[in-house]
Each structure stands twice: as C-alpha cells, then as structure tokens.
C-alpha cells in the first residue's frame, strides 16, 4: 500500500504540519509507503513528483485551502482514488481516514 498526501491549512502555521505528522505516523504504524507534501508557511516542502503520485494506491488531500498543483491529481481523481478532507479531521482521527483510503 502506498499513500501520498498533501497537507495545507489557512495560516500554514500549525494544522498543516500536524496533519502531515498524523498521516505519516499512521502509515508508518501500518508499514505502508507514504509521502506527505506540505504547503504551509515555509512554502512547498517534500513536493510530490509525478512518479510518486502515479505509483500511489490512494491520495489524501488534507487541505482547507486551494493548493498549488492540484491538477497533478486529476488522473487519480478520475480513478476515484482521492480523498479530500479538512486537516483537522485527519489530525483527530488519522486511523479512520487511512482506513477509508485503503478501501478506495
């Protein structure tokens, strides 16, 4: 199982990085491959490359705002492999969101 994600919140100060950590921890616990891009106060970090996205089984967009490079996920969107949720939801309950991603 490979999960890629983007985390971004309104101010880019806190929720972005909490969501990143929450997703990474949960994936690590399950022994999944993962990569989480952040778009926050420090700009884009850990940017997802085309290969990363193409090889992913599921995409989680934990975003409260419009993000840069949303078009990268169009193909996955068409395949029904994208979950879009508010960062605060994944922070509170990462296990549930990863369960959902697993079932896509």
Tell how strand 2-8 and strand 82-85 pair up. unpaired
**Of the ranges 10-18, 27-35, 52-60, 95-103, which one interacts with other proteins (CB under 8 A)?**
10-18
Cβ proximity to other proteins, 40 vs 83, nearer residue: 40
Q: Does 35 bind other proteins (CB under 8 A)?
A: no
Residue 103 CA: distances (Å) to CA of 3, 17, 25, 37, 79 = 12, 25, 19, 22, 13
User: Is-catalytic flag, 9?
Assistant: yes
Q: Does 22 bind other proteins (CB under 8 A)?
A: yes
Active-site residue set: 9
């Amino acid at each position: 199982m490979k999960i890629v994600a983007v985390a971004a919140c309104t101010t880019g100060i806190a929720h972005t990085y909490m969501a990143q950590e929450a997703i990474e921890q949960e994936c690590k616990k399950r022994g999944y491959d993962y990569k989480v891009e952040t778009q926050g106060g420090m700009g884009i970090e850990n940017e997802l490359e085309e290969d990363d996205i193409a090889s992913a089984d599921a995409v989680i967009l934990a975003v409260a705002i419009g993000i840069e490079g949303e078009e990268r996920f169009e193909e996955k969107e068409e395949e029904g492999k994208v979950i879009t949720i508010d960062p605060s939801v994944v922070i509170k309950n990462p296990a549930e969101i990863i369960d959902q991603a697993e079932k896509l």
